Each structure stands twice: as structure tokens, then as C-alpha cells.
Amino acid sequence: MEILSGWTNRRNLGGFLSVIGQFSPEVEAFFRQMKNVQGWKDTSVAFFDDHFYFFLISVLLYPPVIYGLYIWMKDRKPYDLRTELIWWNWFMAAFSFIGTYYLIPILPIGISEAGWWGSVCTRWCFSYNAGSVVGFIFDCSKVLEFVDTLFLVLRKRELIFLHYYHHVVTMLFCWFCNQTCQEFGCHGYYFATMNYLVHFIMYSYFALVAMRIRLPAFCSTFITTIQILQMVFGVAVVVTHYSCDNYDPTTFYLGSLLYLSFFCLFVHFFYNKYFSSSSNRTKSD
């Protein structure tokens, strides 16, 4: 793809990786290897293989640690942590913006070159070094996002099933896709791109709310709406993957289960928060 090659030459991580190389040549070399399918196998896949027990223990400890903290906080006053929460949300918003910056603009080019079906079913995205790097970091970041739940529990905010189910299942699915998607196509690229975009908007909103900046009432509705749309788009990508000549049945079944369950849970949350509560207020009036 000549258009793709020209564009990626203009938006790359060369300068950033050179700075990293001043501190750790090994890390720079690791990231620079991510320039094709084999490079992804030698770096990202190998990294998750080498750190298998870290990721496994992280996801296994998450539920009992969160539940234990929840019980421990029952008879204690909530921690304020407002300053820490502001910094955390802005950090995650900036992190998500960088991922969005490097991933989203390349999609129209990939689609124009190969069409929607080809952009999902072929492995064109693995030739884009910057996209592979931020995609790898995206997969790793799903463990980092467990910190969201710590803030909820320590500040004694409501902890709903959707929250911790979403974190556990997303982390496991990203781990699975990291190890398999290079064999089948660029569906994982789409999953990461739309999640980066939604998280950039979501964490920015959370940061502003934590700063006690008054925002229009529709903003919270908009956040939940784009989360629901993300699930609809995810189903579309999974269904497209199923139609590929070379597709992975496990990805199809797991992806369908994940996105359909998220869709149902977010719609249920949306209804309870914005419609059911409005109906109850109307009746009380």
C-alpha cells in the first residue's frame, strides 16, 4: 500500500523511540521490531508468554482484592483522594489520546486501500510500527485500568457488576487477541482504536467532574451512549471477522459473547440511570 507507507512515514514514533533509546536501547530495539507480523510474534506475543504468570495472577487477584477492600471499607470513612483521582484521569485521558492519535487516522486509508472487509480480514496493520507499539501498550494497559476500581472502593462509591465484569473480561479478551490476531487479520486493531477513542472522551469527562467543573447534563448521557455504540461497532467487527476466508472461531465466539454482554449491560445501565429515574421523578411529582 503506497498511500499507507507514505502516511506512516509522516506519523511515526521514530523520535520518541530514539529518546527511549538514550535510557534503554533494549526497549527501543523491542519496539522497533514491531514492523511486521513476525516482529509482532517476536515481541508482543513473546512478552505476554514470558510474563504469563504476572497477567494471570493480576486477573485472579483482582476480584478477591477488590471484595476484600470493599468489606474492609464498610465501617470506615471514605478516603477523599480527589487530587489523586484528577491526576489519574488526566493521565489516562492523555494516554488514550496518544493511542487515538496514532490509530484512528490510519483506518480510512486502510479501508480505502482494501475495503471494509479487507481492512478487517488482512494483516496490513502490522506493517505500521507506531500502530503496533500503541496496540501492544493498549493490551498491557488493561491491567493498569484495575486502578479505576480501587478509587471507587476506597472512596466508597457504588460498585456495580458492570464495572468489575467489564474490567476482567476486557483484560482477558485483549490478552487472547494479543496472542492470536496476527494470524488472522486486523480485527484487534479496530478493537483497540475504538476503545482508545471512547476512553479519551470518558477519562477527560471524569477528570473534569473530579475537578468539580459544571458540565451540561447531556455529557453523562453522551458518555454512556458512545460506550453502547462501541459495543455495536465491536459486534460489526466480530461478524465481519467471521466472514473472512481465514477466521478464528474462538475469536468470533468470545468476541460475540463479550460485546453482546457489554451491550446488554450498558443498555440496562443507561435505562436505569436516565429513563427509570426520570420516570420515578415524574410519578413523585
Which residues belong to the active site?
166
Provide the 10 A C-beta neighbour count for residue 57. 10
Give the whole-angstrom CA distance, residue 104 versus residue 194.
Answer: 8
Question: How far is it between the farthest Cα atoms of the chain?
Answer: 67
Q: The C-alpha cell of 218 is what?
A: 447531556
Q: What is the CA radius of gyration of the chain?
A: 20
Judge contact between 187 and 120, C-beta under 8 A. Answer: yes
Give the whole-angstrom CA distance, residue 264 versus residue 274.
Answer: 15
Q: How many helices (H) and strands (E) does the chain have?
A: 15, 0
